[in-house]
């Protein structure tokens, strides 16, 4: 019977092409607008590392105290804690090794010279970090492996590169053991990682808009990067800074991220106590003159703390779904107009023996067909909307505007469901028509 009702629905829709197109377009525009914003919202609010988001913690230490410049707050954070650590604190925490796995890091930019003659050097985003970074953040490898802890200690000239850069430099072959020139130095390739992208890039939310875009192509030891004086992309200095590299390293400027892996609540409490004791020790040495203030936040709390999903984005989602409701009201009005023109036809069918259930089923199939067509239009408009976002915001929006297979299914399901919901009242009215009275009026 479904095939029969579907053929009746197509026949009915073809009788008035303009009205049918308006209904489909009304649903499609609403679906396209709501799914575009919902896709961006779901990406921004998603868990970037679900297997370990409750085990990875960002460490913060107050190295400024109650410092304000007039009416300006020292840091744009809710608790006025610096978002990153100083080099002094990052190195001290690494040496203390109070966590089983830990990594200090910072983002930078390096020039890469291709191995083939005639090709010009180009700049790529890079991350200076420790070997534990790759295991902590579950970075998958295509070839090779991370460098070793010994390489961290000896400031070795080793790198891990991405599959994309490996394709560009070595044609995608196994490049482990080969060398690439970064700046004026040759680096040995220790490993090549597969396509991997944390969205948002929770471990460094300062390297792009909201932690999206500007993904690193090169990873090198933190110690090596410091020895070669590579600058951080995210440095905040609220106190006067001297000249020279040593002045930066021994200053109170914050520019290094610091993450630890703590698998149990007991480990979290122990590490928090360790941070408090460390800050108290700094006060005892005279570096700080205020009570210890530290924080330890896992990935979900870190994203919320940094307002990765702003109130504007949440409001935009609500507005888009309100717009979808308006589009559905318009679709209901158009369906009602179509229904009023078919009362006589439905009455004849009822008079010939069709029961209320058959009429109800036929009208629902017709509404679902409209919804399916509206979903196809909405999906096309969603792709268009995400494409416009990519064009406006460039590479930084690439991760935000990726439409996954689940999003496609949600789009079609939402369109059909909303069309059925919009047509539910009409199908109920159609099933309650009294054929005798209607035929008498006609």
240 or 194: which carries more pLDDT confidence? Answer: 194
Residue after which a domain boundary falls, among 221, 245, 261: 261
389 or 83: which carries more pLDDT confidence? Answer: 83
Which range has highest mean pLDDT (165-169, 318-322, 428-432)? 165-169
What's the CA gap between 412 and 396, in Å, rounded? 28
Look up tokens 């976002």; give the residue: 389
What is the per-residue pLDDT for 36? 80
Q: What is the pLDDT of residues 350-365, one digit of tens each?
A: 555 555 566 666 677 7
- Do both 34 and 69 map to the same domain? no
User: Per 3-state DSSP, what percentage of the chain is helix, strand, and coil (rounded to 5)?
Assistant: 50, 15, 35
Residue 299 placed within a domain: no
- Do both 231 and 347 map to the same domain? no
Q: Which two tokens stand for residue 62?
A: 């107050």
Residue 103 placed within a domain: yes
Q: How far is CA 103 from CA 91, 110, 160, 226, 258, in A?
A: 10, 20, 16, 14, 6
Tell me the average pLDDT across 14-33: 80
Residue 279 placed within a domain: no
Per DSSP, 437 falls in state: H
- Do both 185 and 315 map to the same domain? no
Using a pLDDT cut of 70, give the percent of the chain over it.
75
What is the per-residue pLDDT for 9? 62
- Do both 69 and 192 map to the same domain? yes
Tell me the average pLDDT across 338-354: 59
What is the per-residue pLDDT for 259? 97
Residue 277 placed within a domain: no
What's the CA gap between 316 and 34, in Å, rounded? 9
Q: Which two tokens stand for residue 154?
A: 């000896």
- Do both 23 and 135 map to the same domain? no
Q: What is the pLDDT of residues 383-438, one digit of tens each?
A: 887 777 666 555 555 555 566 666 677 777 777 777 777 666 666 665 555 555 44
Q: What is the pLDDT of residues 218-276, one digit of tens each?
A: 999 999 999 999 999 888 887 777 777 888 898 989 999 999 999 999 999 999 999 99
Provide the CB-side half-sphere exposure for 319 (13 A, CA): 7
Tell me the average pLDDT across 144-149: 96
**Alpha helices (H) in 110-208, listed in sequence order:** 132-136, 149-154, 163-170
State the total domains in the chain.
2
Residue 290 placed within a domain: no
What is the per-residue pLDDT for 237? 84
Tell me if 194 sits within 8 A of 140, measured CB to CB: yes
Pairing of strands 257-261, 101-113: antiparallel
Using a pLDDT cut of 90, give the percent of the chain over it.
40
Q: Which helix (H) or strand (E) holds 388?
A: helix 356-393
- Do both 109 and 234 map to the same domain? yes
Tell me if 153 sits within 8 A of 144, measured CB to CB: no
SS3 assignment for 299-363:
HHHHHHHCCCCCHHHHHHHHHHHHHHHHHHHHHHHHHHHHHHCCHHHHHHHHHCCCCHHHHHHHH
- Do both 238 and 379 map to the same domain? no
What is the per-residue pLDDT for 392? 56
- Do both 138 and 110 map to the same domain? yes
Tell me if 9 sits within 8 A of 365, measured CB to CB: yes
- Do both 77 and 184 map to the same domain? yes
The C-alpha angle 338, 342, 345, rounded to 5 degrees, equals 160
What is the per-residue pLDDT for 333? 76
Domain ranges, residue 317: 2-47+310-441
Residue after which a domain boundary falls, among 261, 296, 325: 261
Least confident of 31-40, 121-130, 298-307: 31-40
Tell me if 227 sits within 8 A of 155, measured CB to CB: yes
Q: Which two tokens stand for residue 97?
A: 């090794």
What is the per-residue pLDDT for 255? 94
94 or 381: which carries more pLDDT confidence? Answer: 94
Tell me if 27 sits within 8 A of 327, measured CB to CB: yes
364 or 136: which carries more pLDDT confidence? Answer: 136
What is the per-residue pLDDT for 438? 47
For the chain, give me the number of helices (H) and strands (E)? 15, 10
- Do both 75 and 31 map to the same domain? no
Residue 107 placed within a domain: yes
What is the per-residue pLDDT for 147? 97
Q: Please say if the pLDDT value at position 71 is more than 60.
A: no
Residue 69 placed within a domain: yes
- Do both 340 and 423 map to the same domain? yes
Tell me the average pLDDT across 75-83: 78
Pick from 55, 102, 89, 60: nearest CA to 266? 55
What's the CA gap between 63 and 292, in Å, rounded? 9
What is the per-residue pLDDT for 340? 62
Residue 133 placed within a domain: yes
- Do both 82 and 208 map to the same domain? yes
CB within 8 Å of 370: residues ≥ 6 apart: 13, 20, 23, 24, 27, 331, 335, 419, 423
């Amino acid at each position: 019977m479904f095939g029969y009702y579907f053929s009746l629905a197509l026949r009915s829709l073809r009788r008035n092409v303009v009205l049918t197109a308006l209904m489909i377009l009304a649903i499609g525009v609403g679906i396209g607008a709501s799914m575009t914003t919902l896709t961006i919202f779901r990406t921004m609010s998603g868990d970037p590392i679900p297997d370990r988001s409750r085990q990875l913690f960002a460490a913060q230490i107050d190295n400024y105290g109650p410092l304000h410049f007039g009416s300006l707050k020292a840091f744009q954070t809710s608790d006025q804690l610096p978002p990153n650590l100083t080099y002094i604190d990052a190195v001290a925490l690494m040496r203390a090794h109070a966590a089983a796995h830990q990594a200090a890091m910072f983002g930078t930019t390096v020039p890469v010279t291709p191995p083939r003659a005639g090709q010009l050097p180009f700049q790529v985003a890079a991350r200076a970090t420790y070997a534990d970074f790759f295991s902590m953040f579950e970075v998958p490898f295509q070839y090779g492996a991370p460098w070793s802890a010994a390489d961290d200690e000896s400031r070795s000239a080793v790198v891990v590169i991405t599959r994309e850069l490996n394709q560009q430099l070595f044609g995608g072959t196994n490049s482990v053991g080969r060398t690439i020139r970064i700046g004026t130095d040759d680096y040995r390739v220790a490993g090549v990682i597969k396509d991997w992208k944390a969205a948002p890039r929770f471990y460094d939310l300062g390297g792009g808009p909201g932690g999206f875009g500007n993904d690193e192509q090169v990873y090198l030891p933190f110690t090596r990067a410091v020895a070669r004086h590579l600058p951080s992309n995210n440095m905040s200095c609220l106190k006067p800074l001297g000249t020279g590299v040593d002045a930066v390293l021994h200053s109170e400027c914050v520019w290094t991220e610091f993450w630890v892996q703590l698998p149990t609540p007991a480990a979290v409490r122990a590490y928090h106590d360790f941070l408090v004791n460390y800050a108290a020790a700094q006060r005892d040495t005279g570096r700080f003159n205020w009570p210890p203030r530290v924080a330890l936040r896992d990935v979900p709390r870190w994203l919320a703390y940094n307002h990765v999903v702003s109130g504007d984005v949440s409001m935009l989602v609500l507005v888009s779904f309100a717009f979808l409701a308006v589009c559905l009201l318009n679709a209901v009005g158009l369906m009602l107009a179509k229904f009023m023109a078919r009362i006589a036809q439905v009455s004849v069918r009822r008079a010939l023996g069709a029961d209320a259930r058959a009429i109800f089923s036929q009208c629902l199939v017709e509404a679902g067909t409209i919804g399916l067509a509206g979903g196809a239009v909405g999906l096309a408009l969603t792709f268009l909307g995400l494409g416009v976002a990519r064009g406006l915001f460039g590479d930084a929006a690439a991760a935000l505007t990726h439409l996954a297979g689940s999003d496609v299914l949600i789009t079609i399901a939402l369109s059909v469901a909303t069309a059925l919901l919009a047509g539910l009242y009409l199908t109920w009215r159609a099933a309650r028509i009294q054929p005798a009275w209607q035929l008498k009026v006609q």
